[in-house]
Amino acid sequence: MTYTLIQEDLKRLITKKFTWVAIFFYLLIAATNILFIRSEEPVGNPYFTPTPAFEYFVMIQGGGSGVLMVFLPLLVTLATGDFFIKERRSSLLSYSLMRTSLRQYIRCRVLSIGVSSFLFLFFCQLLLFISLLLVFPLTNPSVSNVNYATDLLVHNPWIYCLLVIINSALMAFFYSCLTTIIGIIFQNFYVSIMFPYVCFIGLSEVFMSFPLLLDGELGALFYDLAPMSMAGDYITSTFYWAVIPLYWIMLGGLSFLFAIWLFGWKFQREKLLLL
């Protein structure tokens, strides 16, 4: 059942006009960000070494002049955030529950939306990476603006960029689970899509303000663990390479289990999903 749902969600994603609009604006933001970074480089200096594609790809994720960390969660919610809420507000949900058990349905449904979101953001990041490889040189990157897994970046930038792509895709899985949770709680279409992004911005602001309240390493730790930091700004942190994927795997797993429990609880208590 899960495989069938994933196929259906991917078809919906591919044929959805807004998906391609979102990808266009994602690439436009990335291109604008690169132009801004290049405007700060001494390109007129005869001793200036052109920045390699690997370094540009890492720099625009976050930290310093990078801005993609702000928009990646929104890209996910706009692309797949309406999948569950549309099904809930139609007869498809009642029909699906007639064919399978309640727990199997919601488990497969959340997993399908999560995998589709994972593949969607993986594709977006990979498309951006390939585009940069075609435009900029493939020389060894500098680590002057990067603190995250610098040894891997220096010795194998291909694997490093793949790690960044996987980190983003794991984040997409979490936010897709969050949109499903919001869709279970609320019946409003726009709330289901935008509220996860509002939570992303709000929690990031709260966590990033902790260094103003707490001195020393504790305040810095809260800043580093903020959702926005973990979405891309982590490249300036000294985390071990496995910390970022484990962070999103943990959040994704917890949100996945919570969505399953919440769906069953709401169905048994109020049966809102059949209204």
pTM for the structure as a whole = 0.91
Residues of the chain short of pLDDT 50, as ranges, are 273-275
Would you report the helix, strand and coil content of the chain in percent, each value rounded to 5? 75, 0, 25
Q: CA 56, 57, 58, 60: dihedral to nearest 10 degrees?
A: 80
Task: Write out pLDDT tens, residues 201-237.
Answer: 999 989 888 887 777 778 888 888 899 999 988 888 8
Residue 141 sits at φ, ψ, to 5 deg, of -80, 160
Give the pLDDT score at 91: 67
Angle, CA 275 vertex, CA 192 and CA 77 arms, to 5°: 15
The three-class DSSP label of residue 216 is: coil
Give the pLDDT score at 181: 93
Contact of 156 with 169, CB cutoff 8 Å:
no
> Which amino acid type is present at position 153?
L
End-to-end C-alpha distance for the chain, whole angstroms: 24
Q: Provide the token pair at 153.
A: 């970046």
Contact of 141 with 52, CB cutoff 8 Å:
yes
Tell me how many helices (H) and strands (E) the chain has.
14, 0
DSSP sequence for 3-17: HHHHHHHHHHHHH-H
Contact of 89 with 187, CB cutoff 8 Å:
yes
User: CA 192 to CA 120: how far, in whole Å?
Assistant: 19
Give the pLDDT score at 94: 67
Give the pLDDT score at 275: 47
Give the pLDDT score at 274: 47
- Give the residue from 208, 207, 185 showing the smallest Cα distance to 195: 185
> Which amino acid type is present at position 206?
V
